[in-house]
Amino acid sequence: MDVQDIKQRFGIIGSSPLLNRAIDIARQVAPTDITVLITGESGSGKEVFSHIIHHLSARKHGPFIAVNCGAIPEGTIDSELFGHEKGSFTGAHEARKGYFEVVNGGTIFLDEVGELPIGTQARLLRVLETGEYIRVGSSKVQKTDARVIAATNVDMFEAVQAGKFREDLYYRLNTVPLKIPPLRDRKEDIHLIFRKFVADFSDKYRSPNVTLDEGAVQILTNYSWPGNVRQLKNIAEQIAVLERDRHITAQTLLSYIPSEQTSNFPMRLSQQGQKEDFSERDILYKVLFDMKKDMVELKKLVIDIIQNGENVSNYAAKHPQVINSLYKDIEMPANDATLTIQQPLSVSRPADDYHLTHDAEEVEESLSLVDKEADMIKKALKKHKGKRKAASEELGISERTLYRKIKELNLN
C-alpha cells in the first residue's frame, strides 16, 4: 500500500512533503514490532498515525486500545494499565484485568505518555524490555505480547533533563521517532482541509456549501493554527452552521478566529504598512536606554577632563563640539528640577592621585517616568520639526501611540 492509498483509506488530506514523509515512516515501521514514539502538537493527528501503524501490521486482527495517560488520576493509573487483585486497595471489590492484559496480541496506544508518574514509568519500562508486569496487590509475574505506540506533545528531552521522565524509558520508547508536522508547516494543505470539513458539515446539516473569497483564503493560510487540525475543524463547523451568507469574506472569517491570536498574522488587512503598536513599556525602555547612553558619554567626558588636567570652562572652550553633542536637543520643562553649578569644576593633579574640588549647589533631578517620557517626546518632535511620523519612528513607537501620548501628557 503506497502513501496515496493510505491517505484515502484513513481520510488524510494534503500533499505536504512533511506529511508524506511521516506517512511513509509509519508505512515502513508498521510490519515490525518496533516501539514507535509519535511526537507533535496537540490536535495535529497523532492518534490517526497509531491506527495506520496498527492496521498495516500483522496485529491488525488483534485488539487496539488507546489510553490517554494524562486523563487517568495518578492513584489509579497502575491499576488501569496493569490490573489489580481483589482487596488490593479501597474500592477494589473484585480482581480486574489491566489494559496490557486485555490487549495481549494487539496494540496499545499510550497518548500523552509524558504525563505518566515516575513509578508507572518504571513498570512500563519493564513491560517494554521483558513483556512482564505485576498486577497491583499481587506478587505473580504475568506476561503480555502487546505492541506499544506512544505519543506526546511535550519536548521529551527537556522532560528528561528536568527529571520528569526516565531517560532509559525515553530511549526505549523512541526506537523509531515519528514527528507529525503542525498545520502551520503545511500551508499548502490548509485550504484543502477546510474545504473538506465545510463540505462534510454542510452535508451533515443539510445546508449549502461554503466558499471563501481571496482575502479569506489568505487569512486561512497565514494563520498559525495553534490548535492545528482540531481547531480548523471546529471553525469550519461553526461557519457551516451559523453563517447565512455562504460566501465567506476575510472580515467574516476573522470574527471566528480568537482575537488574542490575530497578532500571528504577518499584516493586518485593513492597515497594510502600519507598524505594530507599542505599549507604554516600550517607550519606557527606550527612555532608560537613552539615559544609560547619556551617562556613558558623561563618564567619558569626565575621564577626558581628568586626564588632561584642566577645568570644565577651559575644556568647553577647546572642545565645543563635544559639549554640544552631549547636550544636543535637551529641552528642560519649566517646572522640572535643574542642576546648577555656581563655580566651574576645577581639577588639581597632585603627584600621587587626582582630587576633584568644587563648590556646587545641586538640585535633585526629577526621576519621574512621566517627566522622562514627556521629555523624550519633546526632544523627538523638536528634532523632526514637529513631524509626528518621523518622531514616532525615532522613538520606536507607532504614530497612533505618539498621538495618544501627546494628548495624555498635554504636550500640545
Whole-number pLDDT of residue 81: 94
Q: Which residues of 131-153 are buried (b: 16+ CB within 10 A; e: fewer)?
A: eebbbbebeeebebebbbbbbbb
- Cα–Cα separations (whole angstroms), residue 290 to 40, 329, 354, 376, 382: 44, 13, 30, 9, 17
Residue 150 CA to residue 173 CA, distance in Å, equals 7
Q: Which pLDDT value is given to residue 100?
A: 95
Q: What's the CA gap between 262 and 267, in Å, rounded?
A: 10
Place of cell 498545520: 183
Q: Which class is domain 3-181?
A: alpha beta
Annotate 73-107 with DSSP letters as a single string.
-TTTHHHHHH-B-TTSSTT--S-B--HHHHTTTSE
Contact 208, 69 (CB under 8 A): no
Q: What is the pLDDT of residue 374?
A: 81
184-271 has the same fold as 3-181: no
Instruction: Look at residues 22, 53, 55 and name the one whose alpha carbon lies nearest to residue 40.
Output: 22
Quick one: which H or E segment has residue 253?
helix 250-254
Record the cell numbers describing residue 345, joined without a space. Answer: 569644576
- pLDDT of 354 reads 42
Q: Which three cell numbers stand for residue 230?
A: 482540531
pLDDT of 380: 83
Identify residue 231 by its one-letter amino acid code. Q
Per-residue pLDDT of the chain (412 residues; tens, 9 = 90+): 789 999 999 999 999 999 999 999 999 999 999 999 999 999 999 999 999 999 999 999 999 999 999 899 888 899 999 999 888 888 778 888 999 999 999 999 999 999 999 999 999 999 999 999 999 988 899 999 999 999 999 999 899 999 999 999 999 999 999 999 999 999 999 999 999 999 999 999 888 889 999 999 999 999 999 999 999 999 999 999 988 888 999 899 998 988 644 444 443 444 444 444 445 555 666 666 677 677 777 777 777 766 666 665 666 666 665 555 555 544 444 444 444 434 444 444 444 444 444 444 444 555 566 677 788 888 888 888 888 888 888 887 887 788 778 877 777 6
CA distances 53 to 39, 98, 107, 265, 389, Å, are: 14, 22, 9, 36, 59
Q: Categorise residue 406: left if φ over 0, alpha if ψ from -120 to 50, beta otherwise.
A: alpha
Neighbours of 342 (CB within 10 A): 8
Whether the CA torsion 272, 274, 275, 281 is positive or negative: it is: negative
Q: What residue spans define the domains of the chain?
A: 3-181, 184-271, 280-408
* 131: its cell numbers: 513483556
Q: What is the pTM of this model?
A: 0.60
Give the architecture (CATH level 2) of 184-271: Orthogonal Bundle (1.10)
